[in-house]
């Protein structure tokens, strides 16, 4: 029996008949379209590739201006510094028994069809639970904090073991001597002092790049601490449209952004626009699943897989504090 592809367009087209007259539809679809904050805000961009290994190369040229002489005296050697990134193959495997819903409030999603893969419930659970959970696992649990662990055969892994997140990438760059943390010490608990701490961080960034930085990333609680401290230190501020917190940084065009992927972390990081990337192969699969009958005809398998790796294109344009 052929497997059935399920994607967002299919869900929208199919659910009118099943949710008409209820108040659930708007809630379900609003949850479905909550994506990865770093991507939605333009902090990170998706780089699609057909390979499982990606290479960028920082290049720089030496000085080329010199005083005149009649001899040809070449200067300005061009150096290439390759940056290799291996993508991580990640997946979702789910096995469900649609018959389990018969006696629940969702029983209206049952279908008399003996092929459980065709039941409306299967599409409902993909929309209501699996797609939002995959986005949460990738964008909150793994994107920053994950550290890859080789799978144990036959045993499912966890989101934080599925790949190397940005924190591990940053630590590896420090270990390789590619970047040096900005040493500021422990994060102040006093909000006003924390604003000064963030300003000191900006002052320490390489002057070649600091004016081009648009956002600096930190945990959401630290972003709230910054907002309170900004009001306390300066007495006023400018809130961007749609935002409830102060995020501006005195004397700079960058602003503070709290991201859920850094929950529980005290490090601050920033980079030039477009430099932070999610390198991906078969990226569309993160919002597309396959449904297939199980060996047990009353069960259904739902699965997807793709390759991904959070990283940076130019490592010299990455700036982190010395905290974890």
Question: Do residues 315 and 83 touch, judged by C-beta distance below 8 A?
Answer: yes
pLDDT at 150: 95
Instruction: Give CA–CA dist 127/10, Å, rounded.
Output: 10
Residues 244 and 108 in one domain: no
pLDDT at site 116: 54
Q: pTM value?
A: 0.80
User: Is residue 61 situated within a structural domain?
Assistant: no
Residue 25's contacts (CB-CB under 8 Å, 6 or more residues apart) are: 15, 19
- Say if 77 falls within a structural domain: no
Please check whether residues 97 and 141 belong to one and the same domain: yes
pLDDT attached to residue 117 = 56
Q: Is 231 found in the same domain as 125?
A: no
The answer to whether residues 11 and 99 belong to one domain is: yes
Burial of 298-317, coded b for 16+ CB within 10 Å and e otherwise, reads eebbbbbebbbbbbbbbbbb
DSSP for 36-86 reads -HHHHTTSSEEEE-SSSEEEEEEEEE--------SS------EEEEEEEEE
Position 57 in a domain: no
Instruction: Please state the φ and ψ torsions of residue 292, each to the nearest 5 degrees.
Output: -140, 150
pLDDT of res. 24: 41
Domain assignment present for residue 79? The answer is no
Same domain, 32 and 108: yes
User: Is 73 a member of any domain?
Assistant: no
Pairing of β 288-293 and β 269-271: unpaired
User: Same domain for 229 and 267?
Assistant: yes
How many domains does one find in the chain? 2
Asked if residue 171 is part of any domain, the answer here is: yes
Verify that 272 and 291 share a domain, yes or no. no
User: Looking at the structure, do residues 116 and 251 belong to the same domain, yes or no?
Assistant: no
The reply to whether 76 falls in a domain is no
Among 91, 45, 104, 47, which residue's Cα sits nearest to residue 272? 45
Output the CA torsion 139→300→290→41 (10° steps). Answer: -20
Dihedral angle computed from the Cα positions of residues 117, 119, 122 and 124, in that order, rounded to the nearest 10 degrees? 160
pLDDT at 182: 98
- Looking at residue 294, its pLDDT comes to 82
Query: Is 304 a domain residue?
Result: yes
Q: What is the pLDDT of residue 254?
A: 96
Farthest-apart Cα atoms in the chain, separation = 93
pLDDT for the residue numbered 260: 94
Do 141 and 226 sit in the same domain of this protein? no
Residue ranges making up the domain that contains 181: 166-276+314-320
**Pair 150, 177 in one domain:** no
Q: State the Cα angle at 163 between 160 and 164, rounded to 5°.
A: 95
Does residue 17 share a domain with residue 147? yes
Residues 191 and 263 in one domain: yes
* ∠ Cα 210 177 81 (to 5°): 75
pLDDT given for residue 114 in this prediction: 46
> For residue 252, what are the β-bridge partners?
249
Per-residue pLDDT tens digits of the chain, which is 324 residues long: 444 444 444 444 444 333 333 334 434 444 444 567 788 778 999 999 999 999 876 666 778 888 788 988 788 777 766 788 999 999 999 887 766 555 444 444 455 554 555 666 677 778 778 888 999 999 999 999 999 999 999 999 999 999 999 999 999 999 999 999 999 999 999 999 999 999 999 999 999 999 999 999 999 999 999 999 998 898 876 565 556 678 999 999 999 999 999 999 999 999 999 999 999 999 999 888 888 888 887 788 889 999 999 999 999 999 999 999
């Amino acid at each position: 029996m052929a497997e059935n592809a399920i994607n967002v367009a299919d869900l929208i087209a199919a659910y009118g008949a099943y949710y008409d007259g209820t108040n659930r539809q708007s809630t379900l679809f609003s949850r479905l379209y909550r994506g990865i904050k770093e991507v939605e805000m333009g902090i990170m961009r998706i780089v699609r590739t057909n390979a499982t290994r990606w290479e960028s190369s920082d290049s720089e040229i030496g000085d080329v201006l010199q005083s005149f002489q009649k001899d040809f005296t070449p200067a300005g050697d061009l150096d290439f510094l390759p940056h290799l990134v291996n993508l991580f193959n990640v997946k979702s495997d789910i096995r469900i028994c649609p018959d389990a819903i018969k006696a629940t409030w969702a029983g209206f999603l049952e279908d008399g069809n003996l092929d459980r893969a065709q039941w409306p419930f299967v599409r409902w659970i993909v929309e209501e639970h699996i797609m939002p959970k995959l986005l949460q696992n990738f964008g909150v649990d793994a994107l920053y904090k994950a550290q890859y662990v080789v799978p144990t055969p036959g045993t499912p892994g966890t989101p934080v073991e599925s790949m190397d997140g940005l924190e591990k990438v940053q630590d590896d760059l420090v270990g390789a001597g590619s970047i040096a943390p900005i040493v500021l010490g422990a994060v102040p608990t006093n909000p006003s002092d924390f604003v000064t701490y963030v300003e000191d961080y900006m002052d320490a960034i390489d002057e070649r790049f600091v004016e081009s930085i648009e956002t600096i990333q930190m945990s959401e609680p630290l972003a709230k601490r910054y907002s309170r401290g900004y009001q306390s230190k300066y007495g006023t501020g400018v809130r961007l449209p749609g935002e409830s917190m102060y995020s501006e940084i005195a004397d700079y065009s960058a602003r503070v952004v709290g991201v859920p992927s850094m929950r529980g972390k005290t490090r601050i990081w920033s980079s030039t626009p477009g430099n932070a990337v999610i390198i991906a192969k078969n990226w569309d699969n993160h919002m597309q699943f396959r449904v297939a009958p199980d060996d047990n005809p009353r069960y259904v398998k739902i699965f997807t897989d793709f390759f991904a790796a959070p990283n940076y294109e130019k490592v010299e344009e990455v700036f982190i504090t010395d905290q974890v």
